[in-house]
Amino acid sequence: MLFGGTLERADYFYKLKNYSRALKLYLKLVDQDNAEIYFKIGNCYRYLDQIDKAEEFWLKAAEQGSSSAAQNLGNHYFKHNQIAKAKTYFEKGAASGRPDSMYQLAQIAAKFGTEEQKNKWLAKAAEKNHGKSLYEIASYLYSKNDLHRALELAILLPDYLFILRSHPVLPIEQVIHFLTKDLKEIPNITLSIHTKLEDDLAKSSILFYRGSSVVLYAILNGIKPYYLDEPLISFVDPLYDMKIWRES
C-alpha cells in the first residue's frame, strides 16, 4: 500500500518512470503554482509524446525561474530550428549557471555566430567542468600544436625535465596519439599518469598552462606561470587580468 500526500505519491511514480500515473497526480496540484511541479508535468507530457503540452508547462516553470525548464525549452526549440527562441532560453539557463546551457550557446554560435562567441561559451562551461566543453577546448588546443610546442621546448632545453599533465576529464593517455614524435627520443619528458598534482608541482619551477585552475595551485607553491598564448581564446586564462609576474 502506498502512503503519503499527493505530491509524495506523484514523485514516487515519477521516479518509477510511470509518467501516466504521476501526471494524473501532479495535475491535481497545479493550483499550487509551483515551478518544480510545472516542470515535472512538462516532463511527463514529453515522455508521453505530448510535446505541445510539455512546452506549455515548461514555459510556466521557466517563467518562475526554473533553469531546468529553460534548458528543456532551449533543446526543444533548437531541435525544431527555432534558433532565436532556443538562444533565449539557453541564455536563461546560462544565467542560472548551467554549463549545459552554456555549451548549447556555443553550438549556436558555431553555426550562427562567431568563433569568438563560441569559444567564450565553451570556456565558461569548461570552468564548471562540463565534459563536452573541456574536450572541445582540449581538442582545439591540441590541434593548435600545444603538445608539439612542448616537445620542441623539451628538445631545445635538454637540461630541464618536462612533465606533461592534462585535465582529468581528458587523461594524457588519451591524447598522446596527437604527438608526431616518439617520446622515447626525448628523455627529459615524462607523462603525468595517475600522479597527484602536488607531487608534480613539487618537481617544478615553471608552469606552462592554458585554461587550467592548476596555475592557481602553482602560484601558491611559488612556481612562475607562463601562459601558452592563443589570441582567439585568451579568455580561458584564469589569470587573464594579471599584469605582473605572469608571462605569455
Identify the pLDDT of residue 15.
Answer: 96
Identify the pLDDT of residue 1.
Answer: 39
Choose among 90, 45, 36: nearest CA to 64: 36
Rounded to whole angstroms, how far apart are CA atoms 231 and 118?
14
Identify the pLDDT of residue 102.
Answer: 97
Q: From residue 194, how far is each of 7, 139, 173, 197, 218 by CA, in Å?
A: 46, 21, 10, 9, 18
Residue 200 C-alpha cell reads as 608534480
pLDDT per residue, tens digit, the chain (248 aa), is 344 589 999 999 999 999 999 999 999 999 999 999 999 999 999 999 999 999 999 999 999 999 999 999 999 999 999 999 999 999 999 999 999 999 999 999 999 998 789 888 988 888 888 888 877 776 665 555 667 777 888 888 888 899 988 777 667 776 676 676 788 889 999 989 889 999 999 999 888 877 677 888 888 999 988 877 655 444 566 676 666 665 65
Choose among 98, 44, 87: nearest CA to 56: 44
Rounded to whole angstroms, how far apart are CA atoms 110 and 104?
10
Identify the pLDDT of residue 3.
Answer: 44
